Amino acid sequence: MKFGLPLSFGIHVFSVLGSLVLWRGNVDLEQFVIVPVELVSVADITDIKATRKKPPKEIIPDLGLAIPEIAEEKPSAPAALDATEETKELAEESPKPDPKQSAFSLNDFAVLAKDARDSDTSAGEQRILVSEANIAQTDQQGIGAQSGNTVKPQEYIAGKLAGLWQINDGAANYSDLLVVVRLYLDEKGDIVRLDILNEAQIIASNNPAWKTALENAESALRTAAPYNGLRSLDYEKWKMIKINMKPEE
């Protein structure tokens, strides 16, 4: 133990420095990608017909001048889908394309479909679904996580007893009629054993309503069984429960 003190000092320094390093960790800020959320307003502007009226044809007074003929230009297709009102108006104003150019022939389509079917030999077979849902092999996130939405054993048992535990609120000093019970449960939530911890005190009492309170408490606990809503993974926590049954004033 000659070097005990310096050794201890060294270990402490090492552990402090080590913990500082571990504490700092490798925090990669890049993994937190901030996704900007844009306020998108959806409007059916593209379906709205132009409301601007066509300007009235200008009446040109016949001055006896010859009007030169202007060759008519074919309209060009709109550049983008987000046509503005103005472009839409222009598109409407432009002459319609020749219907022969965009004609859709059902016969042609049927021929194409038949060809495709003939070329695929497995088209007539019933396909086996390969994208069926996977059997859950891991706990789903949040379920049984003992979060705020998970009922606590206290609340579960209190809820089960609330409608069954008969309280005689007109009895003498009824709010002092404490019954302390130790409940031993099996994994299915059935009662294995039920001990009244303050039975001697109740029997010795000269308040007859206390004995009835004991009976009512025991009856409620037995009627409420099995307590199968408790989380089975936590069995070690609730296999033995001490219950203080005391009506509030």
Partner 1 sequence: MMKISLLWGQIIKKICALLFVALSIFASTTAFAELEIDITKGTVDPIPVAIPDFLSTHPQTDQIAKDMAQVIAEDLERSGLFAPIDQAAYIEKQTDINYQPRFSDWRLINAKVLLSGSIVLTSGTRLQVEFRLWDIYGMKQLDGLRFATTPDNWRRIAHKVSDSIYKRLTGESGYFDSRIVYISESGPKTMRVKKLAIMDQDGANPQFLLAGADLVITPRFSPSAQKITYLSWERHRRGEPKRSQVYQLDIESGQRELLGDFPDITISPRYSPDGKKLIFSMVKKGNTDIYVFDLHSRSTQRLTTNQAIDISPSFSPDGKKIVFNSNRGGKPQIYIMGANGKNVKRVSFGEGRYTAPNWSPRGDLIAFTKSDGGKFHIGVMNAKDGRGERILTSSYLDEGPTWSPNGRVILFTRETRGLHGKVAIWSVDLTGRNLRKVPTPGPASDPAWSPILP
Q: Contact residues for partner 1 (CB under 8 A)? A: 1-5, 8, 153-154, 157-158, 161-173, 207-213, 216, 219-220, 222-223, 237-238, 240-248
* Cβ at position 244, least distance to partner 1 in Å: 5
Nearest partner of 237 among 119, 154, 133, judged by Cα: 154
Query: Tokens standing for 222?
Result: 């037995």
Q: Using CA atoms, how far apart are residues 238 and 189, in angstroms rounded to an integer?
A: 9
Q: In this complex, which beta carbon is closest to partner 1, that of residue 114 or of residue 182? A: 182
Q: In this complex, which beta carbon is closest to partner 1, that of residue 52 or of residue 182? A: 182
Contacts 24+ apart (CB under 8 A), 208-213: 209/168, 209/171, 209/172, 209/174, 209/177, 210/177, 212/168, 212/171, 213/168, 213/171, 213/174, 213/177, 213/179, 213/245
Q: In this complex, which beta carbon is closest to partner 1, that of residue 189 or of residue 238? A: 238
* Cβ at position 196, least distance to partner 1 in Å: 14
* Cβ at position 199, least distance to partner 1 in Å: 15
The residues, any chain, with a CB within 8 Å of residue 161's CB and separated by 6 or more, are 220, 221, 224, 245
* Cβ at position 176, least distance to partner 1 in Å: 11
Q: In this complex, which beta carbon is closest to partner 1, that of residue 46 or of residue 173? A: 173
* Cβ at position 195, least distance to partner 1 in Å: 12
